[in-house]
């Protein structure tokens, strides 16, 4: 069963998922985040955006202050080709999250693609198309949809958050392609 996203907050919320698409350590807006809040099976997108490492840490503190059972999922680095300074800066960000939060779920990008596309390859526009197919068009300011305002790194974080919510509901999204094809790329960081 897949998680159902609703447009408004629920009266009683017990759980939150904070998903992070990490960026370069010192980037002022390179870290994307999305927060789903609600109860198992029914959640809403309560907050999303791009910000600095400190901004993401602040979002986590806000969730802790609300007393919600919060699951954290962070996109794991996957190197494609030669490394660059940006890759190492992003690794620093993931390390900072690990120091601040302890354990969290790390998911590689091919697993996100498999969840949304049924295969480990594809691009961001294909994932966006799959999101729109599932949740409807983004809409506009006068008639916003669930996806309204999601851009860039925040969009990638939302894809990660829904993957985590679906997996909590027992839907690994890999029915189109077996999980074994990815050699269990998810791991809990410690």
For the segment 100-112, what is each residue's pLDDT rounded down to a tens digit? 888 889 999 999 9
User: Does residue 117 lie in a domain region?
Assistant: yes
Confidence of residue 8 (pLDDT cuts 50, 70, 90): confident
Mean pLDDT of 80-109: 85
120-163 pLDDT, tens digit each: 899 999 999 999 999 999 999 999 999 999 999 999 999 999 99
User: Which residue carries 């890999």 as its tokens?
Assistant: 174
Q: How far apart are CA 98 and CA 143, in angstroms?
A: 39
User: Does residue 51 lie in a domain region?
Assistant: yes
User: Does residue 187 lie in a domain region?
Assistant: no
Q: What is the CATH number of the domain that holds 137?
A: 3.30.420.10
Three-state secondary-structure class, residue 182: helix
Q: What is the pLDDT of residue 110?
A: 92
User: Does residue 190 lie in a domain region?
Assistant: no
Mean pLDDT of 47-66: 92
Q: How far apart are CA 42 and CA 38, in angstroms?
A: 6
Q: How far apart are CA 110 and CA 57, in angstroms?
A: 26
3-state secondary structure 139-175: EECCEECCCCCCCHHHHHHHHHHHHHHHHHCCCCCCC
Largest CA distance in the chain: 49
Higher-pLDDT residue of 165, 24: 165
The pTM of this model reads 0.84
User: Does residue 167 lie in a domain region?
Assistant: yes
pLDDT at 57 over 70: yes
pLDDT at 99 over 50: yes
3-state secondary structure 90-142: HHHHHHHHHHHHCCEEEEEHHHHHHHHHCCCCCCHHHHHHHHHHHHCCCEECC
User: Does residue 140 lie in a domain region?
Assistant: yes
| Residue numbers of the domain that contains 95 | 4-176
Non-local CB neighbours of 89 within 8 Å, separated by 6+ positions: 24, 25, 26, 27
pLDDT at 178 over 60: no
Q: What is the pLDDT of residue 183?
A: 37
**Domain total of the chain:** 1
User: Which residue carries 């949740």 as its tokens?
Assistant: 135
User: Does residue 170 lie in a domain region?
Assistant: yes
User: Does residue 182 lie in a domain region?
Assistant: no
């Amino acid at each position: 069963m897949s998680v159902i996203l609703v447009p408004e907050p629920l009266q009683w919320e017990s759980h939150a998922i904070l998903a992070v698409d990490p960026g370069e350590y010192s980037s002022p807006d390179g870290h994307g985040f999305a927060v789903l809040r609600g109860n198992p099976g029914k959640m809403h997108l309560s907050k999303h955006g791009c910000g600095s490492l400190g901004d993401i840490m602040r979002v986590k503190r806000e969730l802790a202050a609300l007393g919600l059972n919060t699951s954290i999922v962070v996109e794991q680095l996957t190197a494609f080709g030669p490394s660059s300074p940006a890759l190492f800066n992003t690794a620093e960000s993931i390390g900072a999250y690990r120091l601040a939060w302890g354990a969290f779920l790390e998911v590689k990008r091919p697993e996100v693609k498999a969840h949304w596309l049924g295969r480990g390859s594809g691009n961001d526009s294909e994932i966006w198309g799959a999101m729109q197919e599932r949740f409807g068009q983004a809409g506009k300011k006068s008639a916003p949809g669930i996806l309204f305002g999601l851009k860039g790194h925040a969009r990638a974080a939302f894809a990660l958050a829904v993957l985590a919510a679906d997996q909590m509901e027992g839907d690994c999204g890999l029915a189109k392609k077996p999980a074994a094809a990815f050699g269990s790329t998810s791991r809990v960081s410690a």
